[in-house]
Amino acid sequence: MKNIVILGSTGSIGASTLDIVSRFPDQFSIVGLTAGQNDVKLEEQIRTFKPQVVALSSQTAADALRVRLNGHPVEVLDGEEGLCAVARHTECDLVISAIVGGAGLTPTMAAIRAGHKVALANKEPMVMAGHLMQEEAHKQGTRIFPIDSEHSAVFQSLEGHRREDVRRIVLTASGGPFWDWPLDKIKNVTIEQALKHPNWEMGAKITIDSATLMNKGLEVIEARWLFDIPPAQINIVIHRESIIHSLVEYRDGSVMAQLGLPDMRTPISYALNYPNRVPLDPPLLDLGTIGQLNFAPPDFEKFPCAQLAYDALAEGGGLPATLNAANEVAVQAFLEKTISFLDIPKIIEETMTAYTPRELRSVEDALEADRWAREKASMLRNVAVK
> Residue 244 in 3-state DSSP?
strand
Closest listed residue to residue 352, CA positions, set 315, 383, 306, 300? 315
Edge-to-edge strand list for the sheet holding 255-259: 234-238, 166-173, 244-250, 255-259
Yes or no: say if 20 and 268 are a contact pair by the CB < 8 Å rule: yes
d(CA 211, CA 214): 8
d(CA 266, CA 277): 9
Yes or no: say if 201 and 12 are a contact pair by the CB < 8 Å rule: yes
d(CA 144, CA 28): 19
291 backbone dihedrals φ, ψ, rounded to 5°: 90, -55
- Asked whether residue 196 carries a pLDDT value surpassing 90, the answer given is no
d(CA 40, CA 59): 14
pLDDT tens figures, 117-149: 999 998 999 999 999 999 999 999 999 999 999
Query: 357-374: buried (b, 16+ CB within 10 Å) or exposed (e) per residue?
Result: eeebeebebbbebbebbb
Say what the pLDDT of residue 1 is: 92
Q: What is the DSSP letter of 27?
A: T
Domains located in the chain, CATH noted: 2-146 (3.40.50.720)
pLDDT tens figures, 58-88: 999 999 999 999 889 999 999 999 999 999 9
Residues 199-204 have a mean pLDDT of 75
Residues 289-308 have a mean pLDDT of 95
Geometric angle at alpha carbon 102, from 33 and 302, rounded to 5°: 125
Among 26-30, 185-189, 267-271, 311-315, which is the least confidently predicted range? Answer: 185-189
Among 50-59, 219-228, 282-291, 376-385, which is the least confidently predicted range? Answer: 376-385
- Asked whether residue 385 carries a pLDDT value surpassing 60, the answer given is no
343 pLDDT band, cuts 50/70/90, is: very high
- Asked whether residue 332 carries a pLDDT value surpassing 70, the answer given is yes
For 328, counting Cβ atoms within 10 Å of its Cβ (0-12 exposed, 13-18 middle, 19+ buried), the class is buried
> Residue 265 in 3-state DSSP?
helix
Query: 70-89: buried (b, 16+ CB within 10 Å) or exposed (e) per residue?
Result: eeeebebbbeeebbbbbbbb
Q: What is the DSSP string of 275-317?
A: T------PPP--HHHH-----B---TTTSTHHHHHHHHHHH-T
187 pLDDT band, cuts 50/70/90, is: confident
d(CA 127, CA 231): 13
Handedness of CA 162, 164, 168, 174 (dihedral sign): positive
Say what the pLDDT of residue 384 is: 65
- Asked whether residue 27 carries a pLDDT value surpassing 80, the answer given is yes
d(CA 159, CA 152): 11
> Residue 189 in 3-state DSSP?
coil
386 pLDDT band, cuts 50/70/90, is: low
Yes or no: say if 68 and 74 are a contact pair by the CB < 8 Å rule: no
Say what the pLDDT of residue 273 is: 95
Closest listed residue to residue 217, CA positions, set 28, 364, 341, 348? 348
pLDDT tens figures, 218-235: 999 999 999 999 999 999
d(CA 232, CA 314): 9
Question: Taking all residues of the chain, what is their mean pLDDT, rounded to a whole number?
Answer: 94
Number of residues assigned to the chain: 386
- Asked whether residue 375 carries a pLDDT value surpassing 90, the answer given is yes
- Asked whether residue 16 carries a pLDDT value surpassing 90, the answer given is yes
- Do strands 244-250 and 166-173 pair parallel, antiparallel, or not at all (unpaired)? antiparallel
Closest listed residue to residue 230, CA positions, set 280, 171, 167, 142? 167
Say what the pLDDT of residue 233 is: 97
Closest listed residue to residue 180, CA positions, set 56, 303, 87? 303
